[in-house]
Amino acid sequence: MTERSGNGKVIFSEYRRGEAIKKALTMTREEILLEIRESKLKGRGGAGFPTSTKWMLSAAAVADEKYVICNADEGEPGTFKDRLLLMEYPELIFDGMVIAGYTIGAKKGIVYLRGEYEYLKEQLESYLEQMKTDNLLGKAILNNKEFDFDVIIRLGSGAYVCGEETALIESLEGFRGEARNRPPYPVNTGFQGKPTIVNNVETFAAVTHIIMKGSQWFKKYGTDKSTGSKLFSVSGDCDKPGVYELPMGIRISELLKIVGAKNTKAVQVGGASGICLPKSQFERTLAYEDVPSGGSIIIFNESRNMLKVLKNFMEFFVEESCGQCTPCRIGNIKLLEGVNMIESGNYTFKYINQLKELGKTMQLASKCGLGQSSPNPFISILENFSEEIFNNSEER
């Protein structure tokens, strides 16, 4: 067992391998679905889709095969909580996947691990072997003759867009990672056209705890609309960067205190595709009803140049756009050009305002979440830090 670095009350609370599976197998599928619905668990990847709804739809779908996919394509800049879970808490993730398989009636689970984490693959595979030895995976799990479930690990190959569930499925099927049109949703027509659930690593970990300790226990933490706790990956200008488990609904200012951030000027919530908040908004809360995120928190102190930060994000999107839809493919290039214009002091406000409008068009017209959220930093940084950016540009 590796040394544990997590510290928290829900996800990082005490758990022994296999316990939740044992308990789940004594419950009916409906009971499990009800328990998860009662917990009001929402997707921990950041989109916040109610997990129970996703599972109910795929459980109700009729098909000869179903799939459980764990989205471990943690590509959002500033996120590393899933890496920690995969490294140190695999029992939470895999037990959650087995429970999901039992609940929706799937026999196969796939972990889509990002290519950058290939060094974890061997360790995870040997862990899966141990689970098979303990009869927690494979044929007739815990001597339950009705229930077979197996998990394989597939690697990504360095494409951020593959974190989008339909692009992830395309990639697993051996195609370019280009998002599909929805509907039909993966819960009906997913991997190989079969009902499929795709959940974030942390979502599976939460399910394991909910089944073990009950939805009431889970709801003790967080707010009414965002129950439970959330893992936050904190990096940037602070004394103690790392993964923190904090209750949902925590104020940004409280989080900054906990991680020892001083002279903070801005906080980027939700990674490159998130929004950048200035000091005046540090009293906002980290929850689905206020500032939703997948848990990436990047802190900038007074010494940082926000235009450089924005440029870094826009370069990222230009590189990672998959290129199938025009708003995202061309829009991101245009936004980056705009940032370069500001940097060289060669711009008009008229044109910058047009670019902000273009950003809004991209939010509406892009095919998937990448293009819909890539204008977020552009719009939020230019609006929240306009004074710094436009008043100093002559000097740069």
Partner 1 sequence: MLVLEKNTMTEEIEKLVEKYGNLRSSLLPILQEIQSVHKYIPDFAQQEVARLLNIHPVEVYSVISFYTFLNTKPKGRYLVRLCKTISCDMQGKQAIARAIERELGISFGETTKDNKFTLEYINCLGMCDKGPAMLINNKVYTKLTPEKAIQIINEIQ
Residues in contact with partner 1 by the rule CB under 8 A: 74-80, 82-83, 114-119, 154-160, 171-177, 192, 233-237, 241-243, 268, 272, 298, 300, 304, 309, 312-313, 316, 319-320, 322
To partner 1, the closest distance from the beta carbon of 298 in angstroms equals: 6
Give 266's Cβ-side CA count (13 Å radius).
24
DSSP character at residue 345:
T
Cα torsion 206, 40, 197, 367: sign = negative
Neighbours of 188 (CB within 10 A): 17
To partner 1, the closest distance from the beta carbon of 114 in angstroms equals: 8
Residue 35, by phi and psi: left (phi above 0), alpha (psi -120 to 50) or beta? alpha
To partner 1, the closest distance from the beta carbon of 308 in angstroms equals: 8
CB nearer partner 1, residue 58 or residue 268: 268
CB nearer partner 1, residue 242 or residue 292: 242
Q: How far apart are alpha carbons 1 and 4 in whole angstroms?
A: 9
Structure tokens at 40: 């009001």
Q: How far apart are alpha carbons 70 and 112 in whole angstroms?
A: 6
CB nearer partner 1, residue 59 or residue 298: 298
To partner 1, the closest distance from the beta carbon of 268 in angstroms equals: 8
Residue with tokens 């989008």: 164
CB nearer partner 1, residue 160 or residue 378: 160
Structure tokens at 25: 């197998």
Are 66 and 106 in contact, with CB atoms under 8 Å apart?
Answer: yes
Residue 236, by phi and psi: left (phi above 0), alpha (psi -120 to 50) or beta? left
To partner 1, the closest distance from the beta carbon of 349 in angstroms equals: 26
Nearest C-alpha neighbor of 26 from the set 212, 218, 205, 215:
212
CB nearer partner 1, residue 95 or residue 237: 237
CA angle 245, 246, 249 (to 5 degrees): 150
CB nearer partner 1, residue 59 or residue 85: 85
CB nearer partner 1, residue 300 or residue 347: 300
To partner 1, the closest distance from the beta carbon of 174 in angstroms equals: 3
To partner 1, the closest distance from the beta carbon of 261 in angstroms equals: 13
Residue with tokens 């214009």: 341
Dihedrals phi, psi of 324, to nearest 5 degrees: -85, -25
To partner 1, the closest distance from the beta carbon of 241 in angstroms equals: 4
CB nearer partner 1, residue 154 or residue 279: 154
